[in-house]
Structure 1
Amino acid sequence: MNEDPTREAESEHSHSSYDEIGVAVGDGKPVPSKSQVASTAMATATHIALDKLSTVRAREAFLRDRLRLPHPTPTPPMLWFGLAVVTIFAAVARLWRLGHPTSLVFDETYYVKDAYSLLHQGYAGTWNENPNDAFAAGDTSYLQEKAAFVVHPDVGKWLIAIGIRLFGVDSSFGWRITVAIAGIISVWLIGRIAARLFRSTTVAITAAALLAMDGIHIVETRIALLDGFLMLFALFGFWALLRDRDDSRARLARRIAEEPSRLNDPWGPALWWRPWLVVAGVFLGLATGVKWSGLYMLAAAGLAALAWDIAARRAVGARLWIGAGVFRGGLPAFVNLVPVAGLVYLASWFSWFASSSGYYRTWAQGLRDGGNDVPRGWLPDVLNNLWEYHAAMYRFHVSLHSDHTYQSNPFGWLIQLRPTSFFWETSPGANCGLSSGECAQAITALGNPAIWWPAALGLLVVLWAAIARRDWRAWAILVGYFGLYVPWLIFSDRTIFTFYTIAFVPFVCLTWVFALGYLTGHVRHLPPLPYAREDGTIVQPWAPGVITPSYAIPELAGPVVLEEIEREEAAEIDGIAPGERPYDEPLPRRLTRSARITWGVAVGIVGLVFVFFYPIWTAMEVPKWFWRAHMWLGSMWI
């Protein structure tokens, strides 16, 4: 996840990372002329350049540019308005006829009944044979006190239980309302994430609209499965990771600007308190509490934080930047992220701890009562019981190899090669206005082809930008793939399904907008950064002939708050709204007419495919021939 920070000794510049954060900085006070650099022979070029800048404001401005921290500007009103409209559209698409079908659909037979059991017993109980029809009618007498062996943690089922509590056990709308809300929130959130990544209102609204119109996302946020909650919590964790990246870099720049002698320590200052990583730990702990696959996203987030810390240390001029990134950045990141996630996950088992009847709850005591040795006897019984329960869950998951009609290989997920049929029902043709033939109702977990197929090709653009151009935004998108898709390739021989892809469909949408935006100019290429020569002279490579930028000139570096200067600079760009300022280029560049048309046509095609497929995502009653017209890949989609 290299961001290619400046190679100081060779006076080279790079494509480091940046993003939006509004921080007022700088007191403008001059510093003593006496050099603060411990040894010119040992100092990096950036360190020498900082020593020559005469104010805190000037030094911080230089470091923020080196770290690609953007100029703070207000959020454009059009972004708020556009995301509000798209979110309302997503809500309508998910809430309309949410209670249909009124029966338990696919794996709802497990999760909805477990949710009710948690609500009334505190643990998942077993059910008498064939309870589904009675349960849907509100008859819960089939529930037994005997504990059931369930193989996923409880967070998602507790969230389903909220809807059951509010609307009643006989309300199919109530079973599904919380996952629908999770889907609606995720549409708004991906828009905010895209705005933070790409600094474009158009791209941000488009990313949200794509997620709102994707079939996998629609289907699984209209059915009470767990994966929609996993998707939302993983996305919130990713958002917090991006916020930490900006916040930690801004604080690093501030500390060094206030006291450049901190770089006399070859590792630079430590940042032990990382509040946004704590937030990420909370959300990723909840994601793991929905399904264990959240652990992979936690690992990917931790590695991303480490890589970005190493790159940041190099960019600000730390001599031993690898050690600095590992011990002054990575170790605090681990402390703020991983233990928090672990504690949140452990707390998510609260009802199991509170109960004496949950599965494996008295396992250790039972062995002891039978005169048998208790493995890990050094652990308190309650933790030992939970350990053994987790061991049993793990054994179940790794040994799941039973054949299923709709199982799919994860190598085909990116092109939605084998979708999952959640619901299928036929009826006489008169029900859908036919004089003969049959009507059909289907819920098919199939992604919007106009999103998934271009995104599969767009992933090549993302990989190229990440590796060849060292674009940090491309690496950020790949964090989602590494954390939520790639691990499944290891388990391709297991019984797994395409509908698991909802966990990373937000990153598929980000790939779509990044790839098309990169090719059309909607997503600006990252330019070279200002860098320092060996003598400390600051060079602005994107402005030919400009050796010394304004913040390096003493008379222009007076006691002015940096945020105010940046707002004034943004306002001076003619014809560009503050929130649309092209931070990655020194001068505004208009999109060509063909680029705007290409973008509009591509989004329009997504919309047309959404309209065409929506009936078979939502169990609308249609002629059977109409349903068959959607099976573009023949038997692979049936």
Structure 2
Amino acid sequence: MTSGTDAVGSPDTRPVAAEQPAAASVDLADERAREAAGADLGTDAGAGAVLAPEPEPAADAERAAEAEPVADAEPESRGTRLDDWWARMLATPRRRALWYWGGPALVVLLAAVLRFWNLGHPQAIVFDETYYVKDAWSLWNNGYESTWPDGADEGFANGDTDTFSDDGVYVVHPPLGKWMIALGMGLGGAESAFWWRATTALAGTAAVFILMMVARRLWPSTILAVFAGLLFAIDGNAIVMSRVALLDNWVMLFALLGFWFVLLDRGWARDRLHRGLDAARASGYEPHYGPALWSRPWVIAAGAAFGATTAVKWSGLWFLAAFGLYLVLVDLLARRRAGVPFWATGALLKQGPVTFLLYVPVAFVVYLASWTGWLTTDGGYDRHWADDPANRATGVFSWVPLALQSLWKYHDSAYQYHIGVHAEHPWQSNPLTWLFMIRPTNMYFASTDDGSGGCGGDTCWSSIIGLGNPLIWWAAAAACLYLVYRLARYREWQVGLILLGLAAGYLPWLMYLDRTVFQFYSIAFEPYLILGLTAVAGLILGDRDDVWWRRERGIATVGVYLVLAVLVSAFFYPLWSAMPITPDFRQLHFWLPSWG
């Protein structure tokens, strides 16, 4: 049984070799060995083995005493017939490789189908696409967001896509997400709704794959990786946010990439710390503070990813800050575990500045690069604000280029806008209710009353509602609340890392309870909700060494839950994809009064 903590303040007691070397995926040979033994039906020897704490010696002795076999008593059987069948199914290297890659590949294929099928419907500007699609297209053509005439939405949807002017328009979000939306239109044209949503759908599909790689890294198990990916693939919030051209899916994708890179850095940095310490001690020198690790490519990659997150929406700054602190804390605990005499000083004053230089500047460069179009052209809104001698900086900041002074003024104005948004909106929601999905966002509604709608009735309604699968969302919320207790009780590093991702994406919104915000912002932290649910599912599954009845119940519970979740997603899919349905059937989906 293994256990460990890291960013949660307790030593990781696992041997160094227990954590896999830093790579984009776990070692296939090790994974095959586990699956050949049937362990993958849970996780790395079962999820319980990864997450459960080491028993205390006294408790272990008591268990051993209680486990003394009574004379003539038969030992209780372990595992199930399903475990035996699974071991036989993965008995050859070819089958193990097929499952190792084939399972995730099938989940990614399912995610792609649910996101790309009929993506061009409706051929209309949906909800906040009115800002981001048109801004993206003018950005692609002019290098900056430009003004459009009144009533441009309908014309754009009908193919009249070039009515923008050369005048810059005031926008309040950085450009990167709009550049990503524009990429699809640049490839396929702006006339089709498919192409203005294509890259966002691709981002949602890619996120499913990345989430499975993250899950496999947390718990070396293809079963749990597929479990996490499948839930993310079929959840309504993730599907809807992949089928409309808004910015939040890009926030989610880049933040998840950064999370993955931070996770990969754990093993990379630990191995190099031990190599440096071993080399110093072999030469007769005791490194009192430990080495300064400059070779940390995953830290640089994480900084770039979180910089890209911020270049989509400023909420990405919270991810950058949270995981920057996490990197320092991981280094601190790693040096303590390695026996470095002045581990705190070494981590904070020696490695800390190095990590900062590897992490923050690259994030700033990526963020600033997203404004290249605005900086290198002349038509952007307030682009020449600082050209006026009355506006430009004097004194210590007078050396700053005028373009950057204008950009700073733009940022100050956008910040004032963000903190002052209090306009009422019929679909706004309180962040306190997001985990429980009380008020989803209705993004699109259309009705036909002449029998031509295609739903089999005279009246047909089509909707796009940002509503998650209730079984997934409510179970994930409950699982993460349980993990808060589990973190306090057992201090498991996997749980701490998952909850940190959730906190970075969610808790900052609690400072803006009176601001106009929407449920669909929750897509930024949904991957960590799914990982929290996966952690609890792994505990329920247990491992092959559990007594047969406990193991059987765990497998049955998780299996039944998955089947029900898939059926509920199939039931709700029409409301996520604007399929025409009858009003009565649509009403059956409103399980809470606040959903309608």
Q: How high is the TM-score relative to the length of structure 2?
A: 0.83
Q: In structure 2, what is the equivalent of residue 616 of structure 1?
A: 575
Contact 1:5–1:15 (CA under 8 A) maintained in structure 2: no
Q: Which one of 447, 453, 466 corresponds to residue 445 of structure 1?
A: 466
Give 1:268's match in structure 2, choosing from 290, 301, 310: 290
Deviations 1:422-461, CA, capped at 9 Å, x for gaps: 1011112624567866211000001111111011110122
- Is residue 211 of structure 1 aligned with residue 217 of structure 2? no
- Counterpart of 1:310 in 2: which secondary structure? helix
1:22-171 aligned at under 5 Å gives the runs 77-171=98-192
The yes-or-no answer on 1:593 pairing with 2:542 is no
Code of the residue aligned with 2:595 in structure 1: it is: W
Greater fraction of residues in helix: 2
Q: What are the Cα deviations for residues 99-136 of structure 1, in whole angstroms up to 9, with x where unaligned?
A: 00001100111101011101111111111111111111
CA distance in 2, matches of 1:92, 1:111: 24
Taking the TM superposition and a 5 Å limit, the aligned residue runs for 1:12-411 are 19-21=19-21, 77-260=98-281, 264-365=286-387, 367-368=388-389, 374=393, 376-411=397-432
Counterpart for residue 627 of structure 1 = 586
Which residue is equivalent to 1:26? none
Q: How does 1:508-527 map to 2 (within 5 A)?
A: 508-521=529-542
1:564-616 Cα deviation digits (max 9, x unpaired): xxxxxxxxxxxx9xxxxxxxxxx899871111111111111110111010010
What corresponds to 2:595 in structure 1? Answer: 637
1:27-72 residue CA offsets vs partner (Å, 9 max, x unmatched) = xxxxxxxxxxxxxxxxxxxxxxxxxxxxxxxxxxxxxxxxxxxxxx
1:337-390 deviation digits (Å, cap 9, x = unpaired): 11110111011111111101111110011x32xx56646534221111110011
> 1:3 touches 1:308 (CA, 8 Å); kept in 2?
no
Where does 1:412-491 land on structure 2 (aligned, <5 Å)?
412-428=433-449, 430-431=451-452, 438-491=459-512
Amino acid at match of 2:492: D
Distance 2:306 2:228 in 1: 22
User: Is the contact made by 1:207 and 1:509 (CA closer than 8 Å) also made in structure 2?
Assistant: yes
Q: Distance in 2 between matches of 1:314 and 1:435?
A: 68
Helix, strand or coil at the partner of 1:444 = strand
Which consecutive segments of 4 or more residues in structure 1 shift more than 3 A? 13-19, 73-77, 371-378, 431-437, 587-591
Residues 599, 15 of structure 1: CA spacing in aligned structure 2 closer, same or farther, 3 A cutoff?
farther
Distance 2:464 2:484 in 1: 34
Structure 1, unpaired ranges of 5+: 7-12, 24-72, 523-575, 577-586
The answer as to whether partners of 2:318 and 2:505 remain within 8 angstroms in 1 is yes
SS of 2:442's equivalent? strand
Matches of 1:18 and 1:156 in 2, distance apart?
39
Is this contact kept in 2: 1:3–1:471, CA < 8 A? no
Rounded Cα–Cα distance in structure 2 between residues aligned with 1:22 and 1:236: 15
Q: Which one-letter code corresponds to 2:510 in the other structure?
A: L
Give me the whole-angstrom Cα distance separating, in 2, the residues matched to 1:282 and 1:22. Answer: 18
Query: How far, CA to CA, are the matches of 1:459 and 1:144 in structure 2?
Result: 48
Corresponding pairs, count: 516
Relative to structure 1, the CA distance from residue 83 to residue 349 in structure 2 (aligned partners, 3 Å threshold; closer, same or farther) is same
In structure 2, do the counterparts of structure 1 residues 263 and 78 end up closer, same or farther at CA, with 3 Å as the change threshold? farther
**Residues of 1 paired with 2:171 and 2:200: CA distance?**
20
The share of aligned pairs that are identical, in percent, is 41
Larger radius of gyration: 1
2:147 counterpart SS class: strand
Whether the 8 Å contact between 1:5 and 1:16 is mirrored in structure 2 is no
Deviation at 1:158? 0.8
Q: Which moved more, 1:587-596 or 1:340-349?
A: 587-596
CA contact 1:127–1:144 (8 Å) conserved in 2: yes
How far the C-alpha of 1:257 sits from its partner, in A, is: 2.8
Contact 2:336 2:343 in 1 (8 A): yes
Give per-residue Cα distances to partners, 1:138-188, cap 9 Å, x unaligned.
213431111100111111111111111111111100000000010111111
SS at match of 1:606: helix
Secondary structure, counterpart of 1:334 in structure 2: helix
Q: Quick check: 2:236–2:469 contact (8 Å CA) kept in 1?
A: yes
CA distance in structure 1 between the aligned counterparts of 2:455 and 2:277, rounded to whole angstroms: 75
Q: Where does residue 11 of structure 2 map in the other structure?
A: 5
Distance 1:22 1:475, change over 3 A: closer
C-alpha separation between the residues in 1 aligned to 2:534 and 2:285?
Answer: 39
Report the Cα distance in structure 2 between the residues aligned to 1:15 and 1:633, rounded to whole angstroms.
49
Query: Over aligned residues, Cα RMSD in angstroms?
Result: 2.3
- Give 1:97 shift: 0.3
Shift of 1:17: 11
Q: Is the 8 A contact 1:115 1:158 kept in 2?
A: yes
> Structure 1 residues 373 and 473, CA, compared in 2 at 3 Å: closer, same or farther?
closer
Cα distance in 1 between the residues matched to 2:195 and 2:348: 47
Alpha-carbon distance change, 372 to 224 in structure 1, aligned in 2, over 3 angstroms: closer
Shift of 1:193: 0.5
Q: CA separation in 1, counterparts of 2:333 and 2:273?
A: 12
Q: Is the 8 A contact 1:271 1:328 kept in 2?
A: no
Conserved 8 A contact 2:423-2:516 = yes
SS in structure 1 opposite 2:461? strand
Deviates more, 1:331-340 or 1:231-240: 331-340
| SS of corresponding position for 1:128 | coil
Q: 1:442 to 1:380 in 2, by over 3 A?
A: same
Helix, strand or coil: the match of 1:425?
strand
String of CA shifts for 1:248-301, please: whole Å, max 9, x gaps: 001112222333368723212221231110011111111111111111111111
Native 8 Å contact 1:442 1:618 kept in 2: yes
Task: Give the Å deviation of 1:79.
Answer: 2.4
Q: Are the aligned partners of 1:154 and 1:290 in contact in 2 as well (CA < 8 Å)?
A: yes
SS of the aligned residue for 1:127 comes to coil
Alpha-carbon distance in 2 for matches of 1:178, 1:495 = 27
Residues 406/334 of structure 1: CA separation in 2 closer, same or farther (3 Å cut): same
TM-score with structure 1 setting the length: 0.77
SS at match of 2:311: helix
Instruction: Note if contact 2:136-2:181 (Cα within 8 Å) is conserved in structure 1.
Output: yes
- Contact in 2 for aligned 1:128/1:142 (Cα 8 Å): yes
- Mapped to 2, the partners of 1:407 and 1:16 lie a distance apart of 49
| Partner SS for 2:190 | coil
Aligned to 2:179, the other structure's residue is in SS state helix
